[in-house]
Amino acid sequence: MPETVIVKPVADQPALLMEKDGERVLVVADLHLGWEVSLSHQGIHVPSQVPRLLEKLRKIINDTHPRRLILLGDVKHAVAKVELEEWKYVPEFFEGLVEMIPDVRVVPGNHDGNLEPLTPPSVKISTSEGISIWNKVGLFHGHAWPSPPLLGCEFLVMGHLHPVVVFKDPLGFRITRQSWVRAKSNGQKLAEGVLKHESVKWEGDSVEEYKKKFGITVVDAECIIMPSFNDYLGGQPINRSFREGWTDLYREYMGPVLRSGAVDFENGEAYLFDGTYLGKIQDLRKLDQETG
């Protein structure tokens, strides 16, 4: 019988639980530790969120009992450098974390430059190209192309986007809610993108070339885009209307996989944390346009 892998959001939480043969792995993305520092530079003083985020993780870990925790990028907030306060916030976070769950791994995001000096030796840090779990689930942050083996996985999980939906009533009041996005990927387009990224020249079928070059059979994976674990962050309204569009700057920020069209984002489906199905993204955008 084929191995069954379960990949599902944790109820009412911005966390993903994966399970195979009784082994459980928990995934969270986009903590942005130290984002408070950038606010303080603007005169807005917010206390450290490390205790709150640790307590939030503690509850999820106690409820789900994972063997391993994977942080899917943007653990810290400053992009290239390390803010003075991050020398305190990030080590404090990891010290509390490894007491709860010793097996912690980080898939770096675009904000995680110079992260290694801030983490304990027991925390494993991969490359930004991501990792494969059980050869079934490919995990990468989303700001860079995934590594070649990930294209053989049934599921591709990424963060980076911070998806939210914005609801408006007739009086103009707005409510913003974080959301999950599930969409189908196009294996052929992904193969073309990774081959170009790896500087591989080919003629003919990209999937066949991929198999020949990397020994990987490319599949049309289900892509899961995770909400940010730090709920104080902003996000991109995925139901933003067509007339408003997405700015060129944000399209650049989206990352190469989404920019390439290899993920059918328009036909992707959005869900709230409680499991409420909101519909396809293209329909949500049409609705936003009609009610805007």
Least confident of 80-84, 86-90, 195-199, 267-271: 80-84
Any domain includes 125: yes
At 213 the pLDDT is 96
What is the phi/psi pair of residue 271, to 5°?
-135, 145
At 170 the pLDDT is 76
Any domain includes 42: yes
Q: How many domains does the chain have?
A: 1
Q: Is 99 helix (H, G, I), strand (E, B) or coil?
A: helix
Any domain includes 287: yes
Any domain includes 203: no
Q: Is the pLDDT of residue 141 over 60?
A: yes
Question: What mean pLDDT, rounded, does the chain reach?
Answer: 88
The residue ranges of DSSP E strands in the chain, in sequence order, are: 6-9, 16-20, 23-28, 68-71, 104-106, 124-125, 131-133, 137-139, 155-158, 163-168, 174-178, 180-184, 222-225, 236-237, 269-271, 277-280
Which residues constitute the domain of residue 177? 6-185+221-291
Least confident of 63-72, 90-99, 109-118: 109-118
Q: Which DSSP category does 201 fall into?
A: -
Give the C-alpha separation, 49 to 16, whole Å.
21
Any domain includes 216: no
Token pair 């009041």: residue? 173
Any domain includes 204: no
Average pLDDT value for residue range 188-212 = 95
Q: Is the pLDDT of residue 247 over 60?
A: no
Any domain includes 213: no
Any domain includes 205: no
Q: Is the pLDDT of residue 37 over 80?
A: no
